[in-house]
């Protein structure tokens, strides 16, 4: 019986960690495609590698920014229900704050990471217009698909869709206050 319980608990923890890893794939993939755009687009110059590393560092810093400035106001702070695991990491840095201020904090801090979605495109497009490259084109298409289709779909369908504060969240709620539904 005790063995069954230990196995059961271990199985649930492994299942949760696997889900958190899967939910982080779209953001990590966006970082990888973005860094590859800089690396390939500026190949032959020292700037390719420098810009790729700066973009990756910005992506990592952006994730921590959200954990520090948004997650403490979320009802999933320090909870296993947080789909990507940020909420539990956030609890190591900051204590719980009022969930009533979640939408205010979300609106204030999300713009900090928004450039991550656009900078690789703005950097890659002029390069591909100047000197066409199939590799760069494929990377740009993959980046756009991941950043603007796959990532929002995964977020709304698997993460934010089950969030108890989705009606307060500017990302999930429509202008009339009703929740956004994709399907």
To ligand SF4, the closest distance from the beta carbon of 79 in angstroms equals: 7
Q: Does residue 62 belong to the site contacting ligand SF4 (CB under 6 A)?
A: no
Q: Are 55 and 35 in contact (CB under 8 A)?
A: yes
Q: How far apart are CA 16 and CA 21, in angstroms?
A: 9
To ligand SF4, the closest distance from the beta carbon of 6 in angstroms equals: 28
Q: Does residue 32 belong to the site contacting ligand SF4 (CB under 6 A)?
A: no
100-159 positions binding ligand SF4, by CB under 6 A: none
Cβ proximity to ligand SF4: between 12 and 162 the closer is 162
- Assigned token pair, 48: 């390719």
The DSSP secondary structure of the chain, one letter per residue, reads -HHHHHHHHHHHHHHHHHHHHHHHHHHHHHHHHHHHHHHHHTTTSHHHHHHHHHHHHHHHHHHHHHHHHTGGGSTTTT-TT-TTSHHHHHHHH-----GGGHHHHHHHHHHHHGGGGTHHHHHHHHHHHHS--HHHHHHHHHHHHIIIIIHHHHIIIIIGGG-TTTTT-TTTB-TTSPBP---
Query: Cα 85 from chain centroid?
Result: 11
Q: Does residue 86 belong to the site contacting ligand SF4 (CB under 6 A)?
A: yes
Cβ proximity to ligand SF4: between 124 and 159 the closer is 159
Q: By CB under 6 A, name the one of 59, 62, 87, 120 that touches ligand SF4.
A: 87
Q: By CB under 6 A, name the one of 74, 139, 154, 156 that touches ligand SF4.
A: 74
Q: By CB under 6 A, name the one of 40, 77, 128, 140 that touches ligand SF4.
A: 77
Q: Does residue 70 belong to the site contacting ligand SF4 (CB under 6 A)?
A: yes
With CB under 6 A as the contact rule, which of the stretches 2-10, 24-32, 80-88, 150-158 interacts with ligand SF4?
80-88
To ligand SF4, the closest distance from the beta carbon of 38 in angstroms equals: 26
To ligand SF4, the closest distance from the beta carbon of 118 in angstroms equals: 21
- Which residues contact ligand SF4 by CB under 6 A? 70-71, 74, 76-77, 82, 84, 86-87, 163
């Amino acid at each position: 019986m005790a063995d069954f319980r230990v196995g059961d608990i271990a199985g649930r923890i492994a299942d949760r960690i696997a889900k958190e890893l899967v939910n982080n794939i779209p953001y990590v993939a966006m970082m990888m495609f973005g860094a590859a755009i800089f690396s390939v687009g500026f190949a032959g110059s020292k700037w390719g590698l420098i810009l790729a590393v700066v973009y990756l560092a910005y992506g990592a810093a952006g994730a921590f920014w959200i954990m520090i400035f948004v997650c403490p106001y979320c009802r999933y702070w320090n909870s296993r229900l947080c789909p990507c695991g940020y909420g539990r990491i956030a609890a190591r840095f900051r204590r719980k704050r009022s969930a009533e201020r979640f939408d205010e904090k979300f609106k204030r801090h999300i713009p900090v990471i928004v450039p991550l979605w656009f900078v690789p495109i703005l950097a890659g497009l002029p390069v591909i217009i100047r000197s066409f490259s199939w590799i760069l084109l494929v990377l740009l298409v993959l980046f756009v698909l991941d950043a603007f289709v796959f990532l929002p779909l995964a977020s709304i369908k698997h993460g934010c869709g089950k969030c108890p504060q989705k009606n307060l969240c500017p990302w999930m709620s429509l202008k009339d206050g009703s929740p956004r539904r994709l399907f």
